[in-house]
Amino acid sequence: MSKICDVCGLPEELCVCEEIAREVQSVKVFTVRRRFGKLMTIIEGIDEHDIDIKELTKTLKAKCACGGTAKKGQIELQGDHKAR
pLDDT digits (tens, 9 = 90+) for 46-74: 888 778 899 999 999 999 999 999 999 89
Question: For 1-84, where are the E strands, in sequence order?
Answer: 28-33, 39-44, 68-71, 74-78
The reported pLDDT for the residue numbered 1 is 59
- 9-33 confidence digits (pLDDT tens): 778 788 777 777 667 778 899 999 9
pTM of the model: 0.72
Write the CA distances from 47 to 3, 23, 53, 64, 73, integer angstroms. Answer: 26, 11, 8, 22, 8
48: Cβ contacts below 8 Å, ≥ 6 apart: 73
Where are the domains positioned within the chain? 26-78
| CATH superfamily of the domain spanning 26-78 | SUI1-like domain (3.30.780.10)
Is the Cβ–Cβ distance between 39 and 80 less than 8 Å? yes
